[in-house]
Structure 1
Amino acid sequence: MILWLTTFAFSIASALLPFLPIEVYIVGAGSTEHGTAAAISLGIAAGAGATIGKIVWYELARRGAESAWAQKKLSKPKVKATYEKWVARMQGRPVYAAGVMFVAASAGIPPLLAMSAVGGLLKMPLWVFVPTVFVGRTIRFTLLFLGVDFAIH
């Protein structure tokens, strides 16, 4: 249980601070546990923590879009038109938005930290963002834990 909570906590920190790579932690933590059930459990803990951390980035960007500085930038017609076009794409096409976010969450391309901010700026629906990031991150981290388990045991 302590490893599960530590994994959860470290994944929150890693999601907020990009200089704390969760993958390095997974190699170390994964070497202490054995079995598919442990890998799945730890993958869920890491996925949940990462999702919480990315929600923070999402919310910071979403609220920042309403700041005086952002509104000044959006007062330029070309910038505003581009922004509104992307907002319409994201809000009007949740499957498209979820697909892009899922690839970022599971494969890391484009980086999920950047995509979390973009999702917030473009007002991606939170009901799409949260489960997509959670599932993508959980799959990624579970596979990493399974890979460590396979390599060591």
Structure 2
Amino acid sequence: MILWLTTFAVSIASALLPFLPMEVYILGAAATEPGVPAAITLGIAAGAGATIGKIIWYEAARRGIDSKWAQKKLAAPKVKAGYEKWVARMQGRPVYAASIMFLAASVGLPPLLVMAAVGGLLKMPMWVFIPTVFLGRTVRFTLLFLGVDFAIH
């Protein structure tokens, strides 16, 4: 239970601080708790923690878009055109938005930190954002835990 809670906490911190990679933690944690059941439960803990951290980035961007600073930046024609292009792509297309977010969450391309902020800026529906990020991160981290377990044992 302590390893599960630690994994959850480290995953939140890693999601908030890009210089703290969760993958490095997984190398050590997977070595201490072998087996498929442990890999799955730790993958879920890591996915849940990462989702919470990315919700914070999402919310910061969503609330910050209405700030004077952001509005000043959006006044620039090139920035405004790019923003409007992404709004047009994402609005009313939850499958498209979810696909891009899932790719970012599971593979890391585009980077999930950036996509969480973009999701917030574009006011992506939370009912799309949360399960997509959770599923993508859980798959990614579970596969990493399983890979380390397979390599070591």
1:114 is aligned to 114
- Following TM superposition, by how much is the alpha carbon of 1:69 offset from its aligned partner in structure 2, in angstroms? 1.2
Residue of structure 1 equivalent to 2:137 = 137
Whether the 8 Å CA contact 1:101–1:115 is kept in 2: the answer is: yes
Q: Does 1:59 align with 2:50?
A: no
Number of the residue aligned with 1:88: 88
Deviation at 1:78, TM superposition (A): 5.3
TM-score scaled by length of structure 1: 0.95
Coordinate RMSD, CA, aligned: 1.2
Residue of structure 1 in register with 2:24 after alignment: 24
For 2:147, the aligned partner's letter is: G
Equivalent-residue separation in structure 1 for 2:4 and 2:95 (angstroms): 32
2:105 is the alignment partner of 1:105: yes
Report the secondary structure of 1:89's partner residue: helix
- Unmatched 5+ stretches in structure 2: none
Question: 1:58 Cα deviation (Å)?
Answer: 0.6
Q: Is the 8 A contact 1:58 1:117 kept in 2?
A: yes
TM-score (norm 2): 0.95
The residue that corresponds to 1:15 in the other structure is: 15
Residue type of the alignment partner of 1:43: G
Q: Distance in 2 between matches of 1:79 and 1:117?
A: 15
Contact 1:90 1:123 in 2 (8 A): no
Residue identity opposite 2:148 in structure 1? V
Return the alpha-carbon distance in structure 1 between the equivalents of residues 89 and 131 of structure 2.
19
Q: Residues 52-108 of structure 1, C-alpha deviation per residue, up to 9 Å, x if partnerless?
A: 000011111111111011122333455434423322321210100000000000000
Q: Which runs of 4+ in 1 moved over 6 A?
A: none
Instruction: Extract unaligned runs of 5+ from structure 1.
Output: none
Change (3 A) 1:137 1:72: same
- Give, in whole Å, the separation in 2 of the partners of 1:118 and 1:82: 12
Letter in 1 for 2:30: G
Residue 47 of structure 1 corresponds to 47
Which 10-residue stretch deviates more, 123-132 or 74-83? 74-83
Per mean C-alpha deviation after superposition, the further-off stretch among 100-109 and 116-125 is 116-125
